[in-house]
Copies of this chain bind each other. A is one copy, B any other.
Amino acid sequence: MQETNRTEISTLGEFGLIKHLTKDIQLKNESTRYGVGDDCAVLEYPESKQILVTNDLLMEGIHFDLTYVPLKHLGYKSAMVNLSDIYAMNGTPRQMVVSIALGRRFCVEDMEDFYAGLKMACDAHGVDIVGGDTTSSLTGLAISITCIGEADKEKVVYRNGAKENDLICVSGDLGAAYMGLQLLEREKAVFDQQIREARKTGNKKLEEELRQAQPDFSGREYLLERQLKPEARRDIIQALDEAHIRPTSMIDISDGLSSELLHICTQSKVGCRIYEERIPLDYQTAVMAEELDMNVTTCALNGGEDYELLFTVPLGLHEEVCQIKDIKVIGHITKADLGCALISRDGNEFELKAQGWNPLKD
């Protein structure tokens, strides 16, 4: 949060703030008939399209920590999380409704930063911000984003269509966002400790220096980028479309590969085998996992926040799917009674479990 150049939100009020933040929005989509400024946004879609709707509610302290997430990045990521859900249905995002509840410690400039990130993401993906609600919170920041998209009727892909022998594919690499989070958490803990010590000794100058200091993340940039600025995989959806491949099932990886694959298997009433050696990992992820004495496969399986796409295609499309950049086949679908398993590098079979990030678990 900026301390300089601070405009209190009360000077604008609720409607003033919305107007200020949305005044320069240019509507881009034909399906957007009316945006911000009435009781509802008004949309119009052709009959050939199905309409996709998703909502995510992001809470400060649970989904993000403002001590190391800049508000602009938060705006960008909040949008991406929702765009990713539309792509996971094989759709195209078109509109977004953004509601925010904020406490008194936030100022107009903070919200400008948040909206700057949000707009950057929406512009990159051709999405219109069409409405929202801005209100106050007694405590932390709460962000609710509803994203609306479209898909041709026969092209929507659900989680429940995986068939025996289908190939299991994943885009990008996994576990990096989780490693980025670990890195940020570690630096925060170190920083807090140093500040406490400087305070204890009454060393004001050291305390000030520490507050200005930036931790050295060189060689870890990819991990940070994956955590702070994830990208929803529109490129994969477009590449699949160009190759005339319609996945039989699809989901985006927000809670970890294991958890998402189990959703597909449960809903499709099938089992699966995936191979540890085929799980795509970045070099920085592996190095960081070793440094933290963590199993990198566990990180990739359960880490979460990758926002990659996990999908299945018929076995016959093996060659076509392998030709697409940044897609890797990691296993195949089996009969349900074979269960869901990971085959380790040494050939052992382990049952897949949803140990992914569960915000409601103890």
Contacts and interface: CB of A to CB of B under 8 A. Distances in A.
Interface stretch (A37-45, A71-79, A181-189, A283-291): A37-45
Nearest to A48: B47
A33 interface: yes
Given A251-B39, A359-B14, A53 B138 contact: no
Interface string A16-53: 01000000000000000110011111111111001111
A137 to B, nearest CB: 5
A38 B140 contact: no
Contact of A138 (B9, B12, B61, B133): B61
Contacts of A9: 360
Interface stretch (A85-93, A112-120, A165-173, A315-323): A85-93
A361 interface: yes
Nearest to A8: B362
A153 interface: yes
A99 B144 contact: yes
A308 interface: no
Interface string A124-138: 000000111111111
B252 A89 contact: no
A47 B46 contact: yes
A105 B174 CA distance: 34
Nearest to A97: B55
Contact of A85 (B40, B85, B101, B158): B40
A148 interface: yes
A142 B55 CA distance: 14
A158 B38 CA distance: 7
A277 interface: no
Given A85-B39, A89-B39, A138-B61, A51 B44 contact: yes
Interface centre among A13, A60, A146, by most chain B C-beta atoms within 10 angstroms, is A146
Nearest to A85: B39
Among all A-B residue pairs, the 5 with the closest Cβ atoms: A144-B144, A57-B99, A40-B52, A61-B138, A39-B88
15 contacts: A38-B158, A39-B250, A44-B50, A44-B51, A47-B47, A51-B51, A53-B97, A54-B131, A56-B133, A57-B99, A59-B101, A62-B137, A137-B142, A138-B139, A146-B146
Given A33-B50, A39-B54, A42-B51, 13 more contacts: A37-B267, A40-B91, A41-B53, A44-B153, A51-B51, A55-B144, A55-B146, A57-B101, A59-B137, A61-B139, A62-B138, A97-B146, A139-B140
